[in-house]
Amino acid sequence: METIIIIVFLVGYLAITLEHNLKIDKLIPALAMMAILWAIIALAHMDVFEVNTELRQLEPTHIEEILLHHLGKTAEILFFLLGAMTIVEIIDYFDGFVTIKRFIKTKSKRKLLWLFSIFAFILSAIIDNLTATIVLITILQKVIKDRETRLWFAGMIIITANAGGAWSPIGDVTTTMLWIANKVSAMELVKHVLVPSIVCMVVPVLFASRFKAFKGDLDIDVNAPEETSSKFSATMLYLGLGAIIFVPFFKTVTHLPPYVGMMLSLALVATFAEIYSSSKFSISNVHGEDHDTVGHHSPVHHSLSKIELPSILFFLGILLAVGALESLGYLFNYAGSLNAAIPNTDIVVMLFGVGSAIIDNVPLVAASIGMFSEDMDNPLWHFLAYSAGTGGSMLIIGSAAGVVAMGMEKIDFFWYLKNIAWLAVIGFVSGAVVFIFMRDFVLYT
């Protein structure tokens, strides 16, 4: 039966990684794989276990209890993401991100490279690397008309956005997973991963700034009239970003799960959104309207309608599928075998980083949470957050930021592999070396 379980998981995993070739959204194999795995466990009456992290051993339990446990942990992540996504969409509803465009006051390509890189690094740490990439490439399309030049900027945004997301508990889905699973704390994650992430961002940009693509000036009018936006755009941008940053502090003070703080932040941002909206909205209908789309006259309802539910369902499927393997004890046993085969955990974690460029980093990190039983804020978790977050930049399909940039700019896989991938590799390795040095000689001495 173990063989059947592994085959189902591998086939589902393969279908996820070949999403673009099969022309099937990855949420479909993720959900199917999850349902089939748990169905096999139930029908075959297989023994399920819960990992006792204190004793570092497996303890028998019932399928209903362990499934509810995994559903609860998954729901914490999903509701956190839903809250964050909604806040970002509310900011966009008020054209808040237009405010960022106003900071662009130079024609120099090299200065623009550094400007976009810094924006990507900072913004991805707050609103996650995927959303930051979407925002910045949208601005990029308005600023740079030449597509070839834009491709180079987009490639660098992928690297810098992923680097920015790795050091923040709200900057990448994988770091959020580790944070919610109590593997890392917000302050310790920033303390240990910020400097390596900066190195991972700066080194590729230093190399790229010498390329021909980033020499000279752009043919743009920096004094052109600003595009029309809501008079509350700047207010909603700073309010929304501030509300998201508030969440880690809320968790630190209250010790409640992060989604609770995110829901409070969403309520605050939504309140101001309703106040600033010119719509006459009631909870049941809009004055003068009675059709199915009336809720869209509310900025909150409009923002909720734009949430990427396919991504949410994908996370549901993949996390519960990995939970099935964890409940059967496979991940716990595999971790022991892996540690025996490769005693050096640094190599193992860096291989996770390389693996995240080939296959999705979400299931990799979900699996690692079930494989390793190290204590909270152990260096292994910090290094894993760095590797999984930045390793995906080595291939354009290796991260959500890369995939969305690929779609928005129609970036060719082999163009990225030839021109950008090696920059991502040297950034990844440079940051990893800095992390290991800091761990061994600075922070843990």
Q: Can you tell me the distance from the alpha carbon of 272 to that of 170, in angstroms, rounded to the nearest whole number? A: 22
Residue 79 located in a structural domain: yes
User: Which of the residues in the chain have pLDDT under 50?
Assistant: 279-296
Q: Is residue 10 part of a domain?
A: no
DSSP state of 59: E
Instruction: Please name the residues in contact with 5: beta carbons below 8 A apart, sequence gap of 6 or more.
Output: 37, 40, 41, 324, 325, 328, 330
Distance CA 428, CA 199 (A): 9
- Say how far residue 30 (Cα) sits from the centre of its chain: 18
pLDDT digits over 221-264, tens only? 555 555 556 788 889 989 999 999 999 999 989 989 899 999 99
- The Cα 109–Cα 119 span in angstroms is 15
Question: SS3 for 286?
Answer: strand
Between CA 316 and CA 320 the distance in angstroms is 6
Amino acid at 188: E
Q: Are 180 and 258 in contact (CB under 8 A)?
A: yes
Of the candidates 381, 282, 274, 312, the residue with the CA atom closest to the CA atom of residue 85:
312
Find how far residue 234's CA is from the centre of its chain. Answer: 25
Write out the DSSP string of 61-98: E-HHHHHHHHHHHHHHHHHHHHHHHHHHHHHHHTTTTH
Cβ neighbours of 194 (radius 10 Å): 16
Full domain range(s) for residue 86: 47-443
**101, part of any domain:** yes
25 located within any domain: no
How many of the other CB atoms lie within 10 Å of CB of 442? 11
Return the C-alpha torsion angle 261, 273, 242, 135, nearest 10. Answer: 110
Q: In a 3-state reduction of DSSP, which class is residue 49?
A: strand
> Which pLDDT does position 348 carry in this prediction?
87
Domain membership flag for residue 6: no
CA 432/CA 442 separation, integer angstroms:
15
Total structural domains within the chain:
1
The angle at the Cα of 50, spanning 5 to 327, to the nearest 5 degrees, equals 10
As a whole number of angstroms, the distance between CA 115 and CA 191 comes to 24
Closest CA to 31 of 18, 15, 55: 15
Helix axes 309-327, 361-371, angle to 10 degrees: 30
Judge whether 319 lies within some domain. Answer: yes
| The two three-digit tokens of residue 274, written as one number | 């309703």
Q: What DSSP string describes 374-426?
A: PPTT-HHHHHHHHHHHHHGGGSTTSSHHHHHHHHHHT--HHHHHHHTHHHHHH
pTM, two decimals, is 0.81
Pairwise CA distance, residues 56 & 47, whole Å:
18
Nearest to 206 by CA among 165, 160, 166: 160
Q: 28 lies in a domain? A: no
Q: Is 24 helix (H, G, I), strand (E, B) or coil?
A: coil
Beta bridge partners of 60: 49
CB 128 within 8 A of CB 175: no
End-to-end CA, the chain: 47
Which residue matches tokens 């909270």?
376
In a domain, 29, yes or no: no
